Each structure stands twice: as C-alpha cells, then as structure tokens.
Amino acid sequence: MSANLVALWYLAASVCFILALKGLSSPESARRGNAFGIAGMTIAVVTTLAIVAKGRLDLIIVAMLIGGTIGALVARRVEMTQMPELVAAMHSLVGMAAALIAVAVVNNPGAFGEHDPLPRGNRLELFIGSFVGAITFSGSVIAFGKLAGLGKKFRLFSSAPVVFRGQHALNLALAIVMIGFGTAFFLSGDKGWMPFIVMLGIAFVLGVLIIIPIGGADMPVVISMLNSYSGWAAAGIGFSLNNTMLIIAGSLVGSSGAILSYIMCKAMNRSFFSVIMGGFGAAEGAAADSSQKTVKSGSAEDAAFLLSNAESVVIVPGYGLAVARAQHAVKEMAQKLIAKGVNVRYAIHPVAGRMPGHMNVLLAEAEVPYDQVFEMEDINGELGTVDVALVLGANDVVNPLAHEKGSPIYGMPIIEANKARTVLVNKRSMAAGYAGLDNPLFYMDKTMMVFGDAKKVVEDMVKALE
Amino acid sequence: MSGALDPTVVNLVVFVLAVFVGYHVIWNVTPALHTPLMSVTNAISSVIIVGAILAAGPSEIDFGSALGAVAVGLASVNVAGGFLVTKRMLEMFKKKAPKAETKAEKK
C-alpha cells in the first residue's frame, strides 16, 4: 500500500473516532457513535496489518486474539459498580503499551520507517510519549488498587492518602532528574539506551508517588486525569512515529480526560492543583459533632406514607445507594409511586458515583428510564416546588453549608434538597461524609431521618406502599 | 522561506487542530454519558495498537518485535474490552418506551 493511501485510510479512521465521540451527545445517537468507533478501529488495524503483511502476521494475530478474548470476557462480566476499576485497569494497559512501543522504537527505528539511530526531531516526542505512558501505567495500577479496595493487603493501595515528609520535594527532584536523563537521551549521538531506560524507570516510580497521596474521595478526578494522560501518551507516540491518526485520537482522548477532570474538580469545589497535591480525605468517616442538636427520625413506613401522599418526589441518590445495591429496590419504589400518580424524578450530582456519570449508568442498569433522570443544574430550580426530596446515601452533595461563607465547602454546587417542602434522608448513621462536615440539612424541622441500610429501608418502603 | 517542511511541524498543526475538535466535541457530551465516554475514549486511545503492530512487524523476531507483540496483546484487551463494555452500557440507556406502549395497549 502506498504511503498516501495509508494516510487516507488513517484519515477515515480519525473521522470515525470524532464521530464516535460526537454520538455521545445524546443516548439516542450514542450507540451509532460506538459503531463508528469500532469501524474506525477496524480500518486502522487492517490498514496497519497491510503495511506489515510481509512480516510476522502470525505473531500479531495470535497476540490480538489473546488480548481481544480477555477484553471481551472482562467486558461481559464486569459489574457496573466496578466500572471505575475497569477503566483504571484499561488506562494502565494503554500506558504500558505506549512505554513498550517507545522501547521498541529506540531498539529498531527502521521497523517504523525511521532512520537508525532515531533523529533528534523524533526523540523529544518519544521521550514525552514514553514518560507519560510510564506514569499512566504505574499511576493507574495504584488507582486500580485503591478503587478495588486492596488497601488492606498492600498499604500502597490504601484508599486513605499515603503521605510522608518531603513527599512533594522528592517528586519534584525525581521529575527534574527524569527530565535531565530525557535531555541526555535527546542529545546522545547513538541509540541512547542508558539515559532512556533510566528516564523510563524514574517515570514508573513517579507514577506511583503521584497517585498514592490522593484520597478515595478524589478518585473521580484521578480517573479522569489518568484518562487524559493515556491520551497524551498515545499522541506523543504518534508524534514520534509521524502518525497523524495516532496524534488525532490521542488528542481527542487527552482533551476529553482534561475536560472531565475540570468538571469533577468544579463539582467537588476543589482546585486541580490541590487534588494533585493530595492528602484530602484523611479524616474519612470522622464522626461529626452532633451532640448538641436533635434529629427527627422515623420508620420506613412513615416515609412511605409521606411519599404516597406527595404530588412530586425527587430522589437524590448518592454512592451509599450503590454500595448497598439498592438501585433495583429504588426503581421498584418509584414505579409504585408513579402508579399512584406521583411525579417521580431523580436528581444526579456530578460526583454522585466514583467516576463521572457513574450514577447514571447504575440507574440505567436498574432500568430507570433516562427521561426521569435529571442533572443537578436542570432540576435545582424546581426543588422549591417539590413535596418530598428523598436523599438516599448522599451527604456532602446536599449539604446547605455550601451556601454559607466561611464553611470549608463554600461554593460547592449542591442539589438543593433543603428547598423541598419535606426532606427524607436515609443514612446508616450520623457519620459525616468525605468532607468531614456536619450537615445542617439533617437538623431542619422539615427533615425526617430514616436510619438503616439503604436497600433494607427502600424494600420496607416498597412493602409499606402496597 | 526555504527548505522542506519538517514533519514535526505538520504533526503540531494536526495536534493543535485535534485538541480544538476534541474540546468542542467533548463539551457537547451529555453528563449522563460520561462513564461510557471514558470507556470509549479508552478504546480509542488503544489505537496505539498500530504502533505496536509496526513494532511487532519485522520478519525476524528480536527484542523489539517481542515487546511489540506484548503491546499488541495489551492494546487488544482495551480495544475489545473498551468498545464492548461501552456497547453494554449504552444498551442500558435504550428508551424503554416501546415496552410501556405495549403494556398500555393491553390495558
């Protein structure tokens, strides 16, 4: 195949990737978008296979079959609550692949149609692509461990931040040394193995060090950030191979991850910089000082009575709901209420799950129709006219302190459940949320607390509604 | 002006334009689909597999092509896993309306 033809096929693949992302603007077009993505990938792979047709196709096909089978099995079996872990694991694979390819380029630039030894112009990009890839790999492994709850076995994977004295100074020093070796690789006249490998090794260590101080509450940002890194790594490799399709695909993914990180930071009222510096979430689960105030608590039956007499109900699900696996029970309850003529809607905070959009997927899995599910900013204006707000396993995202100057979460966007005529809150205990703050919502006169496991409580409500 | 265009400059042009396209396309993604967005971008960044195929391509097997083959395997996990899990999630977002209509007709 001529180089021009290859470039045109790659262009077609790039357009498919853009269409794949464009499709995600609505649930109706999203599946067609995914089909475009698959088509683009097929074009890219087949075109590349045609380039190496005289080489070891057998080796490549076997590797593809093994990898593809594993991927397909995982995709079929993974639980929707485990999506964050899966995504973290997949980021690490992209990072590792980028690092391996970079080593292969240094070893034999000829295989990629480059001069041997690699020209300077491509070395800088190879350096960037490989260190970003290495950081993506080891960082994602740590993120995976934290998300999968491996902290009990290995301290490195602890979901509480792992911090030590001089951490940031060490990271900075390592980064400078890494750039030093990268520069040595750039300037060296031969292949430059020594500086390249040392640089890569430091990058792997840096990836671990960057992610360990970040606490469990900040995981939505971390996953988005690693998503972005995996894209930039692919783009970097694209630069060093002069492959425009790789640059385009990598840039799309890189900017996607960056935008998601921004959205997540904003939703948590945290600056990107403070997330990276880590240490947040150390006071996880600390009990709030609630000794002075009293709460009204009631049974699931009381709650069901209030719900069935309401005209409109807004359900605010938090991650506690997903942990208790109560989505299906909630949907059943909502159906019962709808059958009684109650207008039921769901209000989703951007950080309601453990990754961007996670709660939407969990509700969709429970077959909640997506036209009942509203984003925070779309429903906040209407909460003042709602009879009952039912808060299930959420805390910080409904904390009215966010509107009070001087509070640590001042400015954080919240779902304004406190504006509803009656508020029902289901929680296991009075423990504080990730932010470690007391929540005035629980002490309001119109609030009734229903203590207990979310699934048990909602199932009791369903029974009471019958 | 003299001399041939450096490929790095061409790459930079493509890169900057692609970031712009990405920026505008991603802001249009509905927040409800942010999780499928992450899984599909994961699959798309695995297009790095083309680099892995080139690395594994040479007819004699050496250190570099062995690494390439491993990279092909790793990227394939993502390609298959990423697109399939995205498909699985998007199926869940299908409108349940047709079912509801049939129920209504029975009543």
Predicted ipTM of the assembly: 0.88
The beta-carbon neighbor of B34 closest among A75, A98, A260 is A260
Give the whole-angstrom CA distance, residue A436 versus residue A420. Answer: 24
Question: What per-residue string of b and e applies to A289-320 under the rule 16 or more CB within 10 Å gives b?
Answer: eeeeeeeeeebbebbbebbbebebbbbbbbbb
φ/ψ of A314, rounded to 5, equals: -115, 125
Closest CA to A7 of A252, A242, A250, A253: A242
Contact A107 B63 (CB under 8 A): yes
Closest CA to A95 of A213, A261, A221, A208: A208
Is A234:A246 a contact under the CB 8 Å cutoff?
yes
The helices-and-strands tally (H runs, E runs) of chain A is 16, 6
Choosing from A218, A302, A396, A445, the catalytic residue is A396
Contact A75 B48 (CB under 8 A): no
Per-residue tens of pLDDT for chain A, all 466 residues: 788 999 999 999 999 999 999 999 998 899 999 999 999 999 999 999 998 888 888 889 999 999 999 999 999 999 998 899 999 999 999 999 999 999 999 888 888 877 777 787 788 888 999 999 999 999 999 999 988 887 777 777 777 777 788 888 898 999 999 999 989 888 887 888 889 999 999 999 999 998 888 877 788 888 999 999 999 999 999 998 889 999 999 999 999 999 999 999 888 887 877 777 765 544 444 444 545 677 888 888 888 888 988 999 999 998 888 778 888 899 999 999 999 899 999 999 988 888 889 999 999 988 898 889 999 988 988 888 999 999 998 888 888 888 888 777 788 889 998 899 999 998 887 777 766 678 888 888 888 998 888 888 899 988 888 8
The beta-carbon neighbor of B74 closest among A67, A78, A231 is A67
Contact B76 A224 (CB under 8 A): no
Contact B93 A27 (CB under 8 A): yes
Candidates B34, B39, B91: best to mutate against A (most CBs of A within 10 A) is: B34
Give the whole-angstrom CA distance, residue A90 versus residue A71. Answer: 9
Q: State the Rg of chain B over Cα.
A: 22
Measured between CA atoms, how close is A20 to chain B, in angstroms?
8
Distances (CA, A) of B77 to A22, A98, A454, B93: 24, 14, 36, 24
Give the whole-angstrom CA distance, residue A352 versus residue A209. Answer: 27
Contact B96 A367 (CB under 8 A): yes
Q: Is A125 on the interface with B (CB under 8 A)?
A: yes
| Backbone CA torsion sign across B69, B70, B75, B78 | positive
For residue A136, give the 3-state DSSP assignment.
helix
What percentage of chain A's residues is helix, strand, coil (to nearest 5)? 65, 5, 30
User: Does A438 participate in catalysis according to the annotation?
Assistant: no
Q: What is the DSSP letter of A450?
A: E
The beta-carbon neighbor of B47 closest among A27, A246, A348 is A246
- Reported as half-sphere exposure (CB side, CA atoms, 13 A), residue A177 has a value of 15
If you count residue pairs, one on A and one on B, with CB atoms under 8 Å apart, how many are there? 385
